[in-house]
Amino acid sequence: MVSKENNNKTNLKTKLPDTSKFFEWRVPGMRILKTCLAVFICLLLTLIRDDLDDLVLQACIAIIVVLKTDFENTWLTGLYRGIASVIGAVMGFLALQFNIYVGLTGKSLGRLLVIILFLFLTIWLTVLFKVPDSTVFSAITFLLIALSYSTDPKAALEISVMRFVAIVLGIVIAIVVNEALPPYRKNKLKQD
């Protein structure tokens, strides 16, 4: 009986992840510096106008998602994020407009079912356009717009455009900062 208990403990140990891989002391790298600098630049916009807080938050999220270790990867991720934002913004706008048109502007099961239907279509479009890596970004952009409680069709368009602009702003700031500062692990790049 004791050997079976020891065997169970051994099996449990082999199934658990190696916790020594969860932490490794390192000096902060350029990607951390670039990300923080890009977010700071974006946050400075809130000092210009008080009503930009929500849009700046979305731009900051785009920066954090898009900024990679080098310019090429940042550019490619930004491109995919941009494509995803277009799909998500258009579908979010259409869902919002549809709900306004049929009178589903408050909290209701019907409104939520319409949103889920359009979310399904949004995700499917990313597959049809062969940008499945952008599915997450497209769905997030869609939900940010579709979950708005607007009752005005013009406001729906403004919400969609402003969310898209905020995301593009974040992408542009990430790309510019990544290009302006030295590459990640410059010494490693010289060795390659």
29: exposed, middle or buried (Cβ count in 10 Å: 0-12, 13-18, 19+)? exposed
pLDDT tens for residues 79-102?
Answer: 988 999 999 999 999 999 999 999
* Contact between 100 and 159 (Cβ < 8 Å): no
The pair of three-digit structure tokens given for residue 122, joined into one six-digit string = 């949004």
Give the contacts of 79 (CB within 8 A, at least 6 positions apart).
none
pLDDT tens for residues 35-84?
Answer: 999 999 999 998 988 888 888 999 999 999 999 988 898 999 899 889 99
pTM: 0.76
